[in-house]
Amino acid sequence: MCRYFLPLLLGLPLLAPAQTAPGRHATMLDLTGAAGPTLNYTSIAGWRLWGLDAAGRFQAGVGVRGSYYFADALALDPQGGATQQLFVPSPRTGAVNVAFHVRARVAGPLRLGFNLDVGGVSFGPTRAVTFERTNNIGAAQPTSGNLLLGGSKDRGSLNSELYASLALPADLSVRVGYSHIVTGYEEVGPDARYRRFRNLAALGLSYQLP
């Protein structure tokens, strides 16, 4: 996903006229939420961004994001060691991940940005689950380790977001984003993992520390 958006962001500062930045570097807190027909989530993140040019128009950095995913039910596709879909009732997954973040100021108060979870841990309650073909009942829990490996190889629960933000007074900004999410479960006992990708429209609020 990032291979499509990063070249776009790298080129955006070249299209806008030079501007005076209030600060080259930034420390930020984000609150984000999204609701969809098959998955919902809320997240809180802290970021440290460094300016890559003298005006701070283009910034890159790292952060930590905590996310909570929930739904009425999830149908998960087979991954490592699994051969059929898994149905999880009332899934509840918490995840804490290290993430990368880049953003570019396009014009005035408008910025475009992209962030991407890289790795961390997940946790949540064990659920009684059923399997697509056999209707057997088993038990599964959120995959404990999260790791960005690329596409269908991604392990655990990870989030990435492409967004546009508009600066507001009092060091606040509002964001409209597009989240690409993978949530993962693993069977209790057998070595079998499951995961499902979702795309959700997201809304967020950011605060830049003085």
According to the model, what pLDDT value does residue 6 have? Answer: 43
For residue 9, which phi and psi values (nearest 5 degrees)?
-65, -35
- Domain assignment present for 203: yes
Q: Which residues span the domain enclosing 88?
A: 2-15+36-208
Q: What are the pLDDT digits (tens) for 28-43?
A: 999 999 999 999 999 9
Q: What are the pLDDT digits (tens) for 135-168?
A: 778 999 999 999 999 988 999 999 999 999 999 9
Domain count, the chain: 1
The single-letter DSSP state of residue 36 is: -
- Domain assignment present for 91: yes
19, HSE (Cβ side, Cα atoms, 13 Å):
20
According to the model, what pLDDT value does residue 133 have? Answer: 75
Q: What are the pLDDT digits (tens) for 78-98?
A: 998 888 999 999 999 999 999
- Domain assignment present for 199: yes
- Domain assignment present for 78: yes
- Domain assignment present for 24: no
Q: What is the pTM of this model?
A: 0.85
Structure-token pair, residue 56: 């701070």
- Domain assignment present for 25: no
Which position has the higher pLDDT, 190 or 6? 190
The answer to whether residue 134 scores a pLDDT higher than 90 is no
Which string of b and e fits 119-153 if b means at least 16 CB within 10 Å?
ebebebeebebebeeeeeebebbbbeebbbeeeee
- Domain assignment present for 23: no
Mean pLDDT of the chain: 89
- Domain assignment present for 22: no
The answer to whether residue 9 scores a pLDDT higher than 50 is no
